[in-house]
Amino acid sequence: MATRDEGLDVMLVGIGVVRYQRHELSPRKVGQVRHAERRSAAWDALTPCAVLETTVGSRAWGLANEGSDTDRRGIFALPFPWTAGLSQPPSDLVSNDGSTAYWEVEKALRQALRADPNTLETLFVASARPLDPIGEWILEARSAFVSSAIYGSFGRYALSQLKRLEQAQRLAQHRELILDWLGQSPSLSLDAVAQRLADVSPRAAPTEADRHLMAKEHVKQLYRSLHDQGLIPTRDFPSLVNFACTARRDLDLSRDLRPKNAYNLVRLLSMAIQWLRVGEVDFTARGALREQLLAIKSGQWPLERTLATAEALTPELEEARRVTKLPPHPDVGRAEALLRRIREEIARRHFVCAPGPLGRDAPPAPVSVWDEGEGTQTQGDDP
């Protein structure tokens, strides 16, 4: 299902894509409805409690164009009454269109301690701005979360994902070959297609029989995947043959193969090298790096060139790790002191009825009720 300005496009097996208006569709499962309602209610109630906000993504990296979205992330604090009852308060807030997201304070700090790239970016990009004194405290203490763990969370993570991207490209190429063969020769059997694939696949195997078996399993995975996407009616080889002959279309690139994903991974790798080497980082891409990233993003660079560029950066990453002056671990004590200070401040505002969304003007906390559908769990009413 895809969202469009004028409605929702839904893939129906055996029919194709049908467009519906939003009011014509509703979730089938009660749990999905409740989740959506709670998420929307939490967004409406708690966004005034945001303490820090920043613009992220291509607009923060200096890589935006006219069509680029504006993505925002931030941190919010829970009013004291929201933490005092049985109902589990939300740990994140997400806008309906997904362009804006906030993490609850404790969740954000724990993520930062793990050197999570998204969280550290939120704290260190130039556009980070406090919306409350609590946000100022977080920015003042952000250096406590920096450590050489960036090597793994930024650098090695990016390299591992680029390797997956290479594998995904090979699988996509094999998919196109299989559909071409079946479109041209629909009488081919499953074993015949598997043998052709085994002959062209670079994957190593102990014996020729093993190569054939691996190729056959790949063909099966292809028709299972197409069925899961709603493109063929049954998970079997005849449906795959029929699709190749009568219903084949240019399939969308998988998420892994989109240029946007590749350029972000190269960016992460470059940021890791810079941060480890000099102890500071500028999330805005500049100079030759910016030109490279724009070329990757626009699709001017083939994936092979992008992978070669990343491979060439690997020795630099290892050397940056060797010479880094960053501490081996984040300052957990300082992070805990920050969290305690924030919790105490929120409690103080509540008990003295200080003006604002974390004090006198806090949104009503959800009330726990018994829910037969949830068994013995308590479930908060929508605020």
DSSP string, 48-61: GGEEEEEEETHHHH
Residue listed under structure tokens 């190749």: 244
- Give me 184's structure tokens: 């041209």
End-to-end CA distance of the chain: 30
Cα distances (Å, whole numbers) of residue 132 to 194, 253, 336, 341: 62, 42, 19, 14
Residues 85 and 119 occupy one common structural domain:
yes
More confident position, 3 or 357: 357
Residues 157 and 130 occupy one common structural domain:
no
Residues 52 and 136 occupy one common structural domain:
yes
For residues 188 and 204, is the Cβ–Cβ distance under 8 A?
A: no
Report the pLDDT value the prediction gives residue 231, as an integer from 0 to 100.
Answer: 81
Residues 133 and 60 occupy one common structural domain:
yes
Domain end residue (candidates: 255, 274, 309): 255
User: How far does CA 72 lie from the centroid of its chain?
Assistant: 14
Q: Which residues contact 109 (CB under 8 A, 6 or more apart)?
A: 138, 145, 335, 338, 339
Q: How far apart are CA 5 and CA 84, in angstroms?
A: 41
Residues 60 and 202 occupy one common structural domain:
no
Domain that holds residue 292: 150-161+257-323
Residues 156 and 286 occupy one common structural domain:
yes
Report the pLDDT value the prediction gives residue 383, as an integer from 0 to 100.
Answer: 40
Instruction: Categorize the per-residue pLDDT at 275 as very low, low, confident or very high, splitting at 50, 70 and 90.
Output: very high
Summarize the confidence of residues 187-198 as an average pLDDT: 92
User: How far does CA 367 lie from the centroid of its chain?
Assistant: 32
Instruction: Categorize the per-residue pLDDT at 379 as very low, low, confident or very high, splitting at 50, 70 and 90.
Output: very low
Q: How many CB atoms lie within 10 A of CB 215?
A: 24
Domain end residue (candidates: 204, 225, 255): 255
Report the pLDDT value the prediction gives residue 32, as an integer from 0 to 100.
Answer: 66
For residues 124 and 284, is the Cβ–Cβ distance under 8 A?
A: no
Alpha helices, DSSP H, located in 30-156? 30-46, 58-61, 105-113, 117-124, 133-140, 150
Q: For residue 174, which phi and psi values (nearest 5 degrees)?
A: -65, -35
Cα–Cα–Cα angle for 141, 318, 277, rounded to 5 degrees? 40
Inter-axis angle of helices 157-184 and 208-228, nearest 10: 90
Report the pLDDT value the prediction gives residue 47, as an integer from 0 to 100.
Answer: 96
Q: Could you report the per-residue pLDDT of 203-239, keeping only the tens digit for each?
A: 777 888 888 898 899 899 888 888 887 788 899 999 9
More confident position, 80 or 370: 80
Residues 210 and 352 occupy one common structural domain:
no
- DSSP states of 302-343 as a string? -HHHHHHHHHHHHHHHHHHHHH--S-SS--HHHHHHHHHHHH
Domain end residue (candidates: 230, 255, 280): 255
Residues 262 and 240 occupy one common structural domain:
no
More confident position, 373 or 305: 305
- Give me 84's structure tokens: 């005092």
Residues 92 and 154 occupy one common structural domain:
no
Residues 233 and 170 occupy one common structural domain:
yes
Report the pLDDT value the prediction gives residue 377, as an integer from 0 to 100.
Answer: 46
Average pLDDT over the chain reads 86
Residue 22 included in any domain: no
- Give me 59's structure tokens: 């607009």
Task: Report whether pLDDT(253) > 50.
Answer: no
Report the pLDDT value the prediction gives residue 123, as an integer from 0 to 100.
Answer: 97
Task: Report whether pLDDT(375) > 70.
Answer: no
Summarize the confidence of residues 283-287 as an average pLDDT: 93
Instruction: Categorize the per-residue pLDDT at 27 as very low, low, confident or very high, splitting at 50, 70 and 90.
Output: low
Instruction: Categorize the per-residue pLDDT at 14 as very low, low, confident or very high, splitting at 50, 70 and 90.
Output: very low
Residue 317 included in any domain: yes
For residues 131 and 269, is the Cβ–Cβ distance under 8 A?
A: no
Report the pLDDT value the prediction gives residue 2, as an integer from 0 to 100.
Answer: 46
Report the pLDDT value the prediction gives residue 73, as an integer from 0 to 100.
Answer: 97
Report the pLDDT value the prediction gives residue 252, as an integer from 0 to 100.
Answer: 53
Task: Report whether pLDDT(3) > 70.
Answer: no
Summarize the confidence of residues 122-142 as an average pLDDT: 97
Q: What percent of the chain has pLDDT over 70?
A: 85
Residue 6 included in any domain: no
More confident position, 289 or 250: 289
Q: What percent of the chain has pLDDT over 90?
A: 54
Q: For the whole model, what pTM was predicted?
A: 0.77
Task: Report whether pLDDT(95) > 60.
Answer: yes
Longest dimension (CA), the chain: 80
Residue 14 included in any domain: no
More confident position, 299 or 258: 299
Element (H, E) at 380: strand 378-380
Residues 108 and 176 occupy one common structural domain:
no
Dihedral sign, Cα of residue 318, residue 322, residue 323, residue 328: positive
Residue 23 included in any domain: no
Residues 172 and 269 occupy one common structural domain:
no
Q: On the CB side of 108, how many CA atoms lie within 13 Å of its CA?
A: 31
